Amino acid sequence: MPGWFDQDAADFRLLGTRCRDCGAVFFPREDTFCRNPVCGGDELVEVPLSRHGTVWSYTDARYRPPAPYVSDPDAEWQPYALVAVELAAERMVVLGQAAPGVGAADLAVGTPVELVPGVLDEDDAQVWTTWHWRPVGAGAGGGGEAGTSPPHPPTPRRGVGGGEKPSGPKTPPPERPEPTPATPTTNDVAVLGAGMHPWGKWGRSFVEYGTKAARAALADAGIDWRDVQSVVGADTVRGGYPGYVAGATFAKALGWQGARVTSVYAACASGAQAIGAARAQILAGLADVALVVGADAAPKGFFAPAGGARPDDPDWLRFRVLGATNPAYFGLYARRRMALYGDTADDFAQVKVKNAAAGAANPYARYRTPVTAEQVAASAVVADPLRLLDICATSDGAAALVLTSMDFARRHGVADPVRIRAVATATPHYPRTVLDLPDIATDSAAAVAEPGTGFRASIARTAYEEAGIGPEDLSLAEVYDLSTALELEWYEDLGLCGPGEGAGLLRDGVTVLGGRLPVNTSGGLSSFGEAVPAQAIAQVCELTWQLRGRAGGRQVAGARVGITANQGLFGHGSAVVAVR
């Protein structure tokens, strides 16, 4: 990657750029315009970054990532540690591999480390250089020998593992008032139909899954396909051209009938973006009836970037340069929670236990067997401290919704439908100071103070403000549990408790089925796995059934208000509020 580091310098450095106007620093380099929205300058100069920093978090990656990290399947591969390092001068976090010989046992959050050159790959003709981190005082072989400085206290950061742990009394969870009927607003749209195709590994086309889910939603709504005026499809990048134009693909599969069509892609937030697009069309008077569909046929194992060499794509770069799979990021977040808040591996395991119990009662879930904490602890380590049962699988599946205007619902004979009251599709605020998928480094807060609210918390806040509710009004929540540790983050980001108190909420039984505020009554991604375009739609299906009182053994008594939370790559956030 030309210009990323000075390979020949005596004091090996990563090379970033700095804006002459506002002082913002960027890595990897930004060569065109300053991303600081209050600046927008175009005079950027090359600057070397600090060679020393402290460990923000770390994980031991135990499973071989897919290509493009290692393109030769016969090449030798060994597990390695990934280290996220906070550079004090730049006030940014940079990801990298640990130097050879340095493992997770040699690291701790706050450990001082230094930058050293490393080898990414080599053959008879060329050596490809990269960067590594090793503890200060460690020799070339790593290993944290005597002389390594003690860890520094971790710097609080808002967001994943970032909130400052409260030192005072525990924040009590918000009280939920007695349920009262939700008052309709001019921004409400009705959910008349919800349908799903069971999650699993079925080996068939995503079009088949989505069509079956769509037909189920239409039947649930009592609406003929020919009455649908708009089809919004959540795209799947694994479906080739049909996946890239999912709206038209599903419209064709159901039988062309002249409806307007929209296709959207926002990675894991695609489903919520599709709901938002359909809702906007209804509120604008462009359609009375809209069908929203998402479906996927996912590969086994790790998600990987699309094929081909794309050095300008950060999703490709994190695999090729660092071998940073999705679970590696989840491991970084989990380790940081343990360091900042005292969360334990058993806390994470109890999230799996809770969600597996709910999934066992859901006929659409892929995994329908209760799980014990002992089974989680006995499963293989994927990205330390997370084990196989801490991390969601990849799945086939589909979900669909029929949304209508409130007037149409009344004309259709439904006087009190479930209603979508808010769809938040927020993006982060600059500077983004928490390392997130698929970033290799955060923005720098050296010139611009970090936002008062972290990205995930801002997603929920935007939804609450639009819906005119707060966390105290919720009956249940469906959150994006890519890992067990990440679910605990969502408790805090949704305002269900204070920073660092998510595990306590779980220990107190608040978020389990039968608790005061159940979370992931569907079983979550833990029980379903990821079918990327469908999962945010599936969350709203669960809220719909719960608010109708038709969730069977998963039913939350008196459910009136629910929220979903989801997030996609590249700053796609989403939350949906449904009421009845």
Task: Give the pLDDT confidence of 154-190 residue by residue, as tens digits.
Answer: 555 555 555 554 444 555 555 555 555 556 678 999 9
Which pLDDT score is estimated for 27? Answer: 94
| β-pair type (260-264, 561-568) | unpaired
Taking CA atoms, 218 is separated from 193, 204, 289, 415, 481, in Å, by 6, 22, 11, 18, 29
Which pLDDT score is estimated for 303? Answer: 87
| Cβ atoms within 10 Å, residue 579 | 26
| Type of residue at 192 | L
Which pLDDT score is estimated for 144? Answer: 43
Residue carrying the six token digits 């599969």: 253
Residue closest to 173 by CA, chosen among 552, 505, 514: 505
Report d(CA 533, CA 535) in Å as an integer.
Answer: 6
Write b or e for each residue in 392-420: b if 16 or more Cβ atoms lie within 10 A of its Cβ, otherwise e: bbbbbbbbbbbbbbbebbeebebeebbbb
- Sign of the dihedral defined by the CA atoms of residues 482, 487, 488, 489, in that order: positive
Half-sphere exposure of residue 270, counting CA atoms within 13 Å on the CB side?
Answer: 32
User: What angle, 0 to 180 degrees and rounded to 10, lies between the N-to-C axes of helices 270-283 and 535-548?
Assistant: 60
Which pLDDT score is estimated for 161? Answer: 52
Which pLDDT score is estimated for 151? Answer: 58
| β-pair type (386-387, 230-234) | unpaired
What tens digit of pLDDT does each residue of 183-223 get? 667 899 999 999 999 999 999 999 999 999 999 999 999 99
Residues in the chain, pLDDT under 70: 71, 139-184
Residues whose CB falls within 8 Å of the CB of residue 208, separated by 6 or more in sequence, listed in order: none
